[in-house]
Amino acid sequence: MQAAPATLEIEAESLSALEVESIELFIGFFKLIGLQKSVGEIYGLLFVSSRALAMDDIMTRLGISLGAASQGLKVLRSVGAVKSVYMPGDRRDHYVADLELSKFATAFIQEELKPRLDRALERIGTMESLASGMDSGDRATAEERLERLKHWLERGESMLPWLLKFLVK
């Protein structure tokens, strides 16, 4: 008994092998930096498209909902990964992939990594005062470890500008 083709497969038939590879590649990368599947799908599709696509093209080709397409494009616009281009005689927005790939890494570093390092360093300040009220054995342990953690975080933080420069160049 052969199962009827799943919806997913039907949809996928309208995608070329190249598009499927591209979509899978970007889903993987985007997940890594904390972005969801549908965002990766959209970018993957646009990346190998030589034409600008409207939102309903994207919905149809990928088989995703209106809401997912709208929100995915919102995220991609917000990190500068897509831009909309004007198409004469068509009311709809049309999107193309921005090929400046370093933008993703940059956005991740500045919006995820940097704030988290800053927050952690703040927290260490708090922890240092908490530790100073403990009795000597525990205090010594805590202070030594906090010092170590702080040192390591500062080192990480100091690397970020270099990393950004390397990626953008």
Q: Which residues bind to DNA, rule: CB under 7 A?
A: 36-38, 54-56, 63-68, 70-74, 90-93
Residues 107-166 that bind a second copy (CB under 8 A): 112-113, 116, 119-120, 123-124, 126-127, 130-131, 134, 137-138, 141-142, 145, 148-149, 152, 155-156, 159, 163, 166
Q: Is 2 helix (H, G, I), strand (E, B) or coil?
A: coil
Alpha carbons within 13 A on the beta-carbon side of 136: 0
93 binds, among DNA, a second copy, none (CB under 5 to 8 A by kind): DNA
Using the minimum distance from each CB to DNA, give the nearer residue, 10 or 130: 10
Instruction: Tell me how far, at minimum, the Cβ of 37 lies from DNA, in Å.
Output: 4
Query: Which of 33-59 are b and which e, b meaning 16 or more Cβ less than 10 Å from the residue's Cβ?
Result: bebebbbbbbbbbbbbbeebbbbebbb
> What DSSP string runs through 32-88?
HTT--HHHHHHHHHHHT-SS-EEHHHHHHHHT--HHHHHHHHHHHHHTTSEEEE--T
CA distance 142 to 127: 9
Residue pointed to by tokens 């590649």: 25
Binding to a second copy, residues 12-51 (CB under 8 A) = 16-18, 21-22, 24-25, 28-29, 32, 47-48, 50
Among 102, 110, 118, 154, binds a second copy (CB under 8 A): 102
**DSSP bridge partners of 97:** 82
Residues that bind a second copy (CB under 8 A): 16-18, 21-22, 24-25, 28-29, 32, 47-48, 50, 99, 101-102, 105, 112-113, 116, 119-120, 123-124, 126-127, 130-131, 134, 137-138, 141-142, 145, 148-149, 152, 155-156, 159, 163, 166-167
